Amino acid sequence: MIQAARSGKQNIVEGKAASLTSSEIHIQLLNVARASFQELLADLEDYLRTRKLRFWDTDSVQVKTMRKLGLSHNDSDFFMQIAETRDDETIANIIIVLIHQEDVLLRKHIENQIAKFINQGSFREALTKARIAKRRGQ
């Protein structure tokens, strides 16, 4: 689970770094990040199921509260403090809610990057156009 979470985060970071020169690699790494978080989600669901722990209902007060917290807090320390005082069942469910929120945000970001690529082209295309324009100018 730790590796899946770390891999998801690292692929977002690497994708952002790659975005300066390759839209395609950026999009691919964001998709790899989504897959890593989906792997973590499946592991958490297995964790709850095999231990006969309760899954929070999507309309429960707990899920609604966590959704609000996930939207208003972008600080891992905040969630770490919450985790220190909660049981395994609650922690797993909190992470599940946050993964679902993260997935929505990543999907929207990927869709935006694809639209940007379609509308503006790639870095390579921009370099080619600049090179052709320079040749024509000489």
Q: How far apart are CA 10 and CA 32, in angstroms?
A: 10
Q: How far apart are CA 123 and CA 108, in angstroms?
A: 21
What pLDDT is stored for residue 76 in this prediction? 87
What pLDDT is stored for residue 123 in this prediction? 77
Q: How far apart are CA 95 and CA 93, in angstroms?
A: 5
The number of angstroms, rounded, from the C-alpha of 130 to the middle of its chain's C-alpha atoms is 34
What pLDDT is stored for residue 23 in this prediction? 87
What pLDDT is stored for residue 65 in this prediction? 94
- Of 74, 91, 73, nearest in space to 82 by CA: 91
Q: How far apart are CA 105 and CA 112, in angstroms?
A: 11
This prediction has a pTM of: 0.84
What pLDDT is stored for residue 110 in this prediction? 94
What pLDDT is stored for residue 22 in this prediction? 86
Per-residue pLDDT of the chain (138 residues; tens, 9 = 90+): 889 999 999 999 999 998 888 888 999 999 999 999 999 999 999 999 999 999 999 999 999 999 999 999 888 899 999 999 999 999 999 999 999 999 999 999 999 999 988 888 777 888 888 888 888 987
